[in-house]
Amino acid sequence: MAQTFSMIELKNIKKAYKTDFTNLQVLKGIDLDIEEGEFVSIMGSSGSGKSTLLNILGILDEYDSGKYTLAGQLMQNLSEKQAAYFRNRFIGFVFQSFNLLSFKTAVENVALPLYYQKINRIERLEKAMHYLEMVGLKEWANHHPNQLSGGQQQRVAIARALVTEPKVLLADEPTGALDSKTSSEVMDLFEDIHQAGKTVIIVTHELDIAQKTERIIRIQDGLILNREI
Amino acid sequence: MKFIDLDKWSEIFQSIQKHKLRTGLTALGVFWGIFMLVVLLGSGQGLQNAIELKFKSDAVNSIWLYGGTTSKEFNGLPKGRNITFDNEDYEVIGEQFPEIENLAGRVFLRGNLILKYKDKNLSFSVRGVHPDMIKIENAIIESGRFINDEDQRQRRKVAVIGSIVSKEVFEDEDPIGKEILIGSTAYTVVGLVLDVENDRSQREIFIPISVAQVVYQGNDDIANLAMITGDMKEEEVAELETGIKNLLASKHQFHPSDVRAIYINNRFEDYQSFQNLFLGIKSFLWFVGLGSILAGIVGVSNIMLIIVKDRTKEIGIRKALGATPRSIVSMILTEAIFITSMAGYIGLVAGIMLLSLMSGVKSEFFLNPEIHLGVGVAAILLLVIAGALAGLIPALQAAKINPIVAMRTD
Ligand SMILES: Nc1ncnc2c1ncn2[C@@H]1O[C@H](COP(=O)(O)OP(=O)(O)OP(=O)(O)O)[C@@H](O)[C@H]1O
Ligand SMILES: [Mg+2]
């Protein structure tokens, strides 16, 4: 590898959930470097702050202090409009609970992020169809989410995350709700995406899933535990 | 930004289509508000129209004078003298009291004269009147014209007939321009009047008072005098009444405090009470109208709050995919405005349709229910704006919440 480019760079990221009575310090100073094209997994016990970290990476949540640089740009004090732009252009996010819109068909769900890029409907549906085909759901394009199995819904969600051709694909326990056979199909899909050159980061608490990635990042008590290649 | 964003509209139509219950509830609230407003205001107007027509002749601020018999001695003259008005009284009153809007005298022809037309011989009451009597009686000219000043001056033999007279004499013929005989004198029918007050007035025939005096009476006596006092105030009317009484007292030599010499029927109180009745109906209609608008506003606002809450998860998902707060607010408001204005429009049309069905109803207390289109449109606008405003605040809030938090709601 001639040259590596840091896609994600975290410096001393801290995040606390404050309520009137409590101050729960979830992230206590995360330092992390993920290079372009890497395929990594984040592991840790329940409540260790994996989702919190991933949400910060996905610009869905804010952090209290530290520095987060995404593709060379500092993600700090973003306006709502800027945040929307980075979410739309830079990030593909796959949620554990899929978060598909139930009143839209599979293909319309996949096409939705392109709507916010002001791409016209025909082109949107064409692209969405392409990504649905890639996840093997071409025949299910016109089904609504409630007519699809969990694995199929997860694949629709992955297609939706990919349709904008983002720099980074983030997935929070993408196999958490799936059986082992479907899980490995979804993991094969992530492997393909990685092979296509994308940076892929998944959160999981299953070791066999994590072992399919290039690197496992362990998080404990709000800190990165160790680094292994 | 594009003026008509087709993509945005297709998103909105899809949202409307896929959320039939939500759309239906919003639409129903607005529809019902506008529909009730139109029907209530419209039928209230119908009630008012009917009452106004029925009591129209009483709703005129007028004074009627009738000759009587003196009950007091005056200037050496005995009591028990009959007082009768004449043309001079008519003229002097007109000259001395220019504030009177309309003044007319009336004579009754003795007995019922036989009216002849073709093979018909019928008996009706005939009155000689001044041209202004039409205003004082507040009757409607159905066709042709009423007696005019020329008829009066030249003693033209013209007649204006009531609608029952016309029906019985001419049946389906057009009476205007036809020659009739009243007694032994020939008259040309020049007009047809409709006085809705009662049947009796529809059985009357009017001729110029000058003709009646010459042809049938042989003197210039006037049975009674009537005048419209317009929108004079109560004190002004009372002052006028006293003035006329004093004038007539000195002309006819009776004691000004003699209450039997002449009778004065001042309709001011009737007039006033009908003005109050109309005002009451109007205020009630406004009360009802504003009430249904207010209910509509509260309803729509509530639904908007619920809708925004209902859509919080959707908003979170859209934001996570790159929607700006502005696009979220615009989506919610455009949809709301579209639904409310469509529903309002349908409510307006449905209400107007019901009103036009109702106008077929024949009743003494119901006539031509109608609504000013402007009122309906203004009501719709008010509801649409209220809905938009009510939706705006929660939409702005919802568009600002953290997508993670929003997506967690169910
Ligand atoms: N919105 C919030 N408000 C308050 N506390 C929160 C909030 N979100 C998460 N937490 C707390 O922060 C801690 C970390 O949560 P997080 O969801 O990041 O854990 P996780 O590692 O993803 O766990 P899991 O494996 O169960 O998903 C938990 O103790 C959780 O209770
Ligand atoms: Mg989690």
**Percent over 70 (pLDDT), chain B:** 96
pLDDT tens digit sequence for B217-237 = 888 899 999 998 877 888 888
Residue B321 to residue A117, Cβ atoms within 8 A: no
Q: Say which residue, B362 or B93, is predicted with more confidence.
A: B93
Average of per-residue pLDDT across A13-34:
92
Using CB atoms, pick whichever of B10, B314, B404 lies closest to residue A101: B314
What is the CA A197 to chain-centroid distance, rounded? 15
Q: Which fold has domain A6-224?
A: Rossmann fold (3.40.50)
Q: Which of B111-125, B145-159, B325-339 has the lowest mean pLDDT?
A: B111-125
- What would the mean pLDDT of A14-33 be, rounded to a whole number? 92
> In whole angstroms, what is the distance from residue B356 CA to residue B46 CA?
11
Query: How would residue B201 be classed by pLDDT, with cut points 50, 70 and 90?
Result: confident
What are the contacts of A3-6 at 24+ separation with CB within 8 A?
A4/A35, A4/A36, A5/A35, A5/A36, A6/A33, A6/A34, A6/A35, A6/A36, A6/A69, A6/A72
Tokens representing B170 are 């001419």
Contact A113 B404 (CB under 8 A): no
What value does the mean pLDDT take over residues A93-115?
Answer: 93
Q: Is A61–B317 a contact, with Cβ atoms under 8 angstroms apart? A: no
pLDDT in tens, B25-52: 888 888 888 888 888 888 888 887 887 7
Q: What residues of chain B lie within 8 A of the CB of A113, using their CB?
A: 321-322
From B7, B327, B404, residue closest to A61, measured CB to CB: B404
- pLDDT at B274 > cutoff 70: yes
Residue nearest to atom 3 of ligand 1 (CA): A17
3-class SS string, chain B: CCCCCHHHHHHHHHHHHHCHHHHHHHHHHHHHHHHHHHHHHHHHHHHHHHHHHHCHHHHCCEEEEEECECCCCECCECCCCECCEEHHHHHHHHHHCCCCCEEEEEEECCCCEEEEECCEEEEEEEEEECCCHHHHHCCEEEEECCCCHHHHHHCCCEEEEEHHHHHHHHCCCCCCCCEEEECCEEEEEEEEEECCCCCHHHHEEEEEHHHHHHHHHCCCEECEEEEECCCCCHHHHHHHHHHHHHHHHHHHCCCCCCCCCEEEEECHHHHHHHHHHHHHHHHHHHHHHHHHHHHHHHHHHHHHHHHHHHCHHHHHHHHHCCCCHHHHHHHHHHHHHHHHHHHHHHHHHHHHHHHHHHCCCCECCECCCCCCHHHHHHHHHHHHHHHHHHHHHHHHHHHHCCHHHHHHCC
Look up residue B296 and give its two tokens.
């509509």
Supply φ then ψ for residue A9, to 5 degrees.
-135, 115
Sequence-ordered list of residues with C-beta below 8 angstroms from that of A165, at least 6 positions apart, any chain:
none
Half-sphere exposure of B31 (CA within 13 A, CB side): 12
- pLDDT band at residue B215 under the 50/70/90 scheme: confident
- pLDDT band for B59, please (50, 70, 90 cuts): low
pLDDT score recorded for residue A191: 92
Terminal Cα-to-Cα distance of chain B (whole angstroms): 33
Distance in angstroms (rounded) separating the CA atoms of residues A186 and A176: 11
Residue A116, ligand 1, Cβ within 6 A: no
**Residue whose C-alpha is closest to residue B146's, from B165, B159, B157:** B159
Q: Which residue has the higher pLDDT, A228 or B198?
A: B198
Q: What distance in angstroms lies between residue A226's CA and the mean position of ligand 1's atoms? A: 21
Ligand 1 binding pocket includes A51 (Cβ within 6 Å):
yes
Q: CA of A103: which chain B residue's CA is closest?
A: B18
- pLDDT at residue B60 is higher than 80: no
Percent of all residues in chain A with a pLDDT value above 70, rounded to a whole number: 97
Burial class (CB in 10 A: 0-12, 13-18, 19+), A25: middle
Mean pLDDT lowest among A67-81, B311-325, B362-376: B362-376
What's the confidence (pLDDT) of residue B368? Answer: 77
pLDDT interval class at B189 (50, 70, 90) = very high
Q: Among B394, B222, B228, B374, which Cα is nearest to B302's?
A: B394
φ, ψ of residue B84 in degrees (nearest 5): -125, 135
What pLDDT, on the 0 to 100 scale, is given for residue A2?
A: 44
pLDDT of residue A227: 53
| pLDDT at A229 exceeding the cut of 60 | no
Average pLDDT, chain B: 85
Report yes or no: A214 and A195 within 8 Å, Cβ to Cβ: no
Evaluate if residue A106 carries a pLDDT over 60: yes
Asked if B327 and A116 come within 8 Å (Cβ–Cβ), the reply is yes
Taking residues B318-329, what's their average pLDDT?
94
The model's confidence at residue B142, banded by pLDDT at 50, 70 and 90, is confident
Q: pLDDT tens, B385-396?
A: 888 888 888 889
At B3 the pLDDT is 53
| pLDDT greater at residue B124 or residue B323 | B323
Q: How many CB pairs under 8 A join A and B?
A: 67
Write b or e for each residue in A98-135: b if 16 or more Cβ atoms lie within 10 A of its Cβ, otherwise e.
bbbbeebbbbbbbbbbbbbeebeeeebbebbbebbebb
Determine the residue of chain B that is closest to A117 in CA distance.
B322
For chain A, the straight-line distance linking the first and the last C-alpha, in angstroms and rounded, comes to 15
Instruction: Tell me the mean pLDDT in the region A126-153.
Output: 93
- As a whole number, mean pLDDT of residues B399-407 equals 90
**Count of Cβ atoms closer than 10 Å to residue B325 Cβ:** 21
User: In this structure, which residue's CA is closest to atom 16 in ligand 1?
Assistant: A49
Cα dist from B116 to B124, B179, B187, B347, whole Å: 11, 9, 10, 56
Cα-to-centroid distance, A169 and ligand 1 (Å) = 21
Closest CA to A43 of A183, A213, A185: A213
- Per-residue pLDDT at B267 exceeds 60: yes
Q: What is the mean pLDDT of residues A44-52?
A: 92
Residue B58 pLDDT > 70 = no
Given a cut of 80, is residue A228 above it in pLDDT? no
How far B386 CA lies from chain A's nearest CA (Å)? 27
- Work out the average pLDDT over B360-387: 80
Residue A174 DSSP SS3? coil
Pick from A28, A45, A50 the residue to mutate for probing ligand 1's pocket: most ligand atoms within 8 Å of its CB: A50
**Region of B35 on the Ramachandran plot (φ > 0 left; ψ -120 to 50 alpha; else beta):** alpha
Q: What is the arithmetic mean of pLDDT over B79-87?
A: 89
Above 70 in pLDDT, residue B130?
yes
pLDDT interval class at B258 (50, 70, 90) = confident
CA atoms within 13 A on the CB side of B387: 33
User: How deeply is A153 buried, as exposed, middle or buried, from its count of CB atoms within 10 A (0-12, 13-18, 19+)?
Assistant: buried
Q: Is the pLDDT of residue B18 over 50?
A: yes
d(CA A60, CA B319): 9
User: Which pLDDT band, with edges at 50, 70 and 90, does B198 fall under?
Assistant: low
B6 contact residues in A (CB cutoff 8 A)? 121
Question: How near does any CA of chain A get to the CA of B344, in Å?
Answer: 26
Contacting residues for A181 by C-beta, under 8 A, at least 6 apart: none
Determine, for residues B318 and A112 on separate chains, whether the beta-carbon distance falls below 8 Å. yes
SS3 call for A24: strand
Domain locations in chain A as residue ranges? 6-224
Q: Which residues of A touch B314 (CB under 8 A)?
A: 101
Tell me, in angstroms, the distance from the centre of ligand 2 to residue A226's CA.
Answer: 20
The verdict on the CB of residue A74 being under 6 Å from ligand 1 is: no
* Cα A7 to ligand 2 centre (Å): 23
The residue of A80, A81, A91, A158 whose CB has the most chain B CBs within 10 angstroms, and thus the best one to mutate to test that interface, is: A80
User: Which atom of ligand 1 is the closest one to the Cα of A48?
Assistant: 21
Question: Which residues of A touch chain B, with CB atoms under 8 Å apart?
Answer: 55, 58, 60-62, 80-81, 84-85, 87-89, 93, 95, 99-101, 103-104, 108, 112-113, 115-118, 120-121, 160, 164
Which of these, A80, A179, A16, A200, lies nearest to B327 by C-alpha position?
A80
The reported pLDDT for the residue numbered B56 is 67
